[in-house]
Structure 1
């Protein structure tokens, strides 16, 4: 009987380990050779849209009704440990409330409404991360998740696993250390890693982070075509952050700029102008 129980426990341990380490579907599909990838990443879930605030579930729904894209969102943590969508440390800029997120309970946050980038108050509330994950999973929408400094990677990864949202979740990291800890915690997840030049990319390789787990963020300036070629040689998807200067440049000089940059090797554009980029590339 003892032998049977011991054997059953070993089998359970192995099976659970295999389930935990099973690669997300994104690791298989996010390849530079895949022509079906979305080409637009919506910064902060949507910015500069009248009556639709950033990091707002209703904004994600609104944009998703019109274009094929992935969505970058920011995850913060309240005083009572709830994970919410919020970019700033304080809620003053994007809501009708005031104060630091870390000093406010989620129940207190529900008293406030979100405000768009033009100062218009909406009827929308600060969303819970788990609700956004559930919506994304139901609608097969990919999220790239920016974990704020005050939040641990483990807490966010646990929340992803709790609703079985691994197949639609990408963890954003900004340096080798963050990428290393994220991969150790969740080897099954795709990671957005900082690879703005060959030196940064080589450091990631030296840290023994598998290239299959990498989505390369090449920065907010155009890199040399040789970097894109090197990343593509490993079938790594390249994302350029046009948010800021490059978006402004394209708005002034014409939307064909996005087509030109794509020809250099850009696979996905992280942008504050999702509709313009989508239409230019379409």
Structure 2
């Protein structure tokens, strides 16, 4: 009887070892599970599904929702100040009118940048990049988009100077990325602060992204960030083959978030940080 029990115990132990999810359990598949791969949760213009975009309220909400980073857009006022706003005019997101480049910082600070979203945010104003860095350095990663930089000669140097002033020019311990649809501007910024990671933004193109483009990007960029409508597992694999990562944009539904998680995106830019599964 003792011999039978001993043999049964050995058998049970063998079965448990075979099915136990140990460190080599999925080695034969050669792929990481969602739990094993950390996907950056990047709040687009802050948590802009829940607070007015590109305001301190939206950035605070992103931090509250435990996003890894938040994204913001930087332009330049008439008097050369770096301001955080998406459109090249203030018409859509404030109670004012006019082009960003034609308004002084003082004029923009007088505008209501929250009521268009909800009266609960009536006190929100257009922040400066410096104000955002002052408040959130060390609290959150920040993805900085140079918006329409051709309208603002010298904006690359201005942003570099602001990052340097905040000791973010060598961000070993701070997650800072600078990106733009203007790839010449990205290259300019990279030449000024080569230790700060940079990304190229890409709108939808039915022809996709060629290997020749990826070869060109990898000379200066760390990230290739296309519209989510261009993304599939094959494109992500090719971007990785060129030693770059990808943060597709912009997720506004759970289905898209789940798809990007499944195909292996490195980060997800989303208006709704809670749509991205929490990482371990």
Q: Residue 117 of structure 1: CA displacement?
A: 5.2
Q: Give me the whole-angstrom Cα distance separating, in 2, the residues matched to 1:46 and 1:104.
A: 26
| Contact 2:56–2:132 (8 Å) recurs in 1 | yes
Q: Give me the whole-angstrom Cα distance separating, in 2, the residues matched to 1:242 and 1:207.
A: 21
- Counterpart of 1:115? 114
Q: Residue 277 of structure 1: CA displacement?
A: 2.5
Q: Give me the whole-angstrom Cα distance separating, in 2, the residues matched to 1:76 and 1:163.
A: 18
CA deviation map 1:83-122 (0-9, x unaligned):
1111112212212222222222112222222125535351
Provide structure 1 residue ranges, at least 5 long, that are not aligned to the other structure: 1-33
- Counterpart of 1:45? 46
Q: Residue 171 of structure 1: CA displacement?
A: 0.9
CA deviation map 1:240-282 (0-9, x unaligned):
2134xxx3xx4xxxx3553333221212111222222246x77
Which structure is higher in helix share?
A: 1
- Cα gap change, 1:267/1:93 in structure 2, threshold over 3 Å: closer, same or farther? same
| Contact 2:200–2:223 (8 Å) recurs in 1 | yes
| Contact 2:54–2:72 (8 Å) recurs in 1 | yes
Larger Rg: 2
What is the number of equivalent residue pairs in this alignment? 234
List 4+ stretches of structure 1 deviating above 6 A.
none
TM alignment of 1:1-282, pairs within 5 A: 37=38, 39-49=40-50, 52-116=51-115, 118=117, 120=119, 122-139=122-139, 141-149=140-148, 150-151=151-152, 152-166=155-169, 167=171, 168-174=175-181, 176-194=183-201, 197-199=208-210, 202-206=212-216, 209-210=219-220, 213-243=221-251, 247=252, 250=253, 255=254, 257-278=256-277
115-124 or 161-170, which deviates more: 115-124
- Counterpart of 2:16? none
Provide structure 2 residue ranges, at least 5 long, that are not aligned to the other structure: 1-34
Q: Give me the whole-angstrom Cα distance separating, in 2, the residues matched to 1:145 and 1:104.
A: 21
| Contact 1:75–1:148 (8 Å) recurs in 2 | yes
